[in-house]
Chains A and B, each alone.
Chain A
Amino acid sequence: MTASGDGPTENIVKFLGALLDKNCVDALLVPMKQPGGEGVVQSLVSHKNMLKNARPMAFDMPVNSGTIISDMTKVAPSSRMLAVVVKSCEIRALIELVKLKQASLDNIVIIGVDCPGTYSVNQFIQMVKDGQSHMSEYLNNVAGEKDDEDMREACLVCERPIPENTDITIGIYGTDLKTPIFFANTETGKEVLAKAGIKPAEESQERKQAISVLEKRRLEAWNTLSDATKSQVAGIGNLLAFFDSCINCHNCMDVCPVCYCRECFFDSPTFEYESDKYLSWAKRKGAIKMPRDTILFHLTRLNHMSTSCVGCGMCEQACPSNIALLRFYKTVGYKAQKVFDYVAGRSIEEALPLLTFREDELDPK
């Protein structure tokens, strides 16, 4: 493995090329720089020579890959071997989607990459325009003691940045930042690495230490944000203020990886009222805000999906009114998951809390 000016990208791309060359997999899902523009977007690659555009350690995340893999495998499981290069929150979302019967892991090789964090799509594009999108600067997040505050809030408080439940993990933390290390976590992972001619690494003290430092500062940041959020949205007045600029576009629901309903209840004919209804509500209350049911939408969405919220922050990235949705959904969601001793995305074996029960629990009296 040679050191490269671009740090780990070249080395990872070489590995991915070997996967295609040696027929370990038929295709790869990996972030690619788009032609003619600045965007870096998940792409399905089947020809090795396309990988020159690959950016496996992408520092933006326009779409949570859980959604993409679900789109590909929900009609039928993949019949060909497909390797997916994904970050921690994408794997967690995928695990929830598999449990929700919206994705299949058949013939999928999960290649997790350490993620120092991402910037919002708009921020990233601006960084490229300003000439500030270099891997060396990005890797300062890995080496340094602080995270770049320009990153998405979801990433600044991500307390689980190291991917779990992978077949292979590509590690950056605990390395010289130029030479990534490859871990095999399953039999499939071992076979694939062997076929690609790579010796699996052993976890080192440096890596354990680096991860521990990272997770500690993220957990502190998360606890701080979570506490602040509880005060920020406490009570109906504060809740209304928080959602003051919500326009009911439902983008947050559309981009959320675990919001999978083909037709959201709030997009259904239930909410198509005759004008007489609106007028009678306005008469009863004196005035009504239009469109209606904003808080109802968010409270209901919490009740429907927060037990599967993995804190990826796609909701906030997509919000046209820049509402700090991640802190809202993640704070309430994580607390809700505790009621059932559940952690979204932790394990594929753990039953979804709303689809299971114990005979003796949560006694109403």
Chain B
Amino acid sequence: MTRVNIVTAVAVLLCLGIPASAQQAPPAGDAAQGKKDMVTYYCYSCHGYAAEGAEEGPRIDTNKWTQANFAAYVRKGGRSMPRYGGEKQIPDAALANIYAFLKARPANPDPQSLPLLNGK
């Protein structure tokens, strides 16, 4: 997914008009289960096993996404993102677990710190 698609995705979320403060906070999920749910519901096939991002699916950055916005986007879908509209596609509990897993991931290293990305 390109940077344009990420911008589109964020715009879609804003259009959903879901201010976090207006909602009840969704229940927190289980990070360990969330890692498994990434596979069960095939999130990994586009985004990678830890949603670190790939050509088909961008990195899901939980600094930019609240749990509510994240869940709403998955339910609605986007230009390239399939619509997981209901419990049959992915239960609310699994969405919470996946979000918890994403939140608990270590940050990506700074590319400047990686010699293999700084050589000629």
Task: Check if A and B associate.
Answer: no
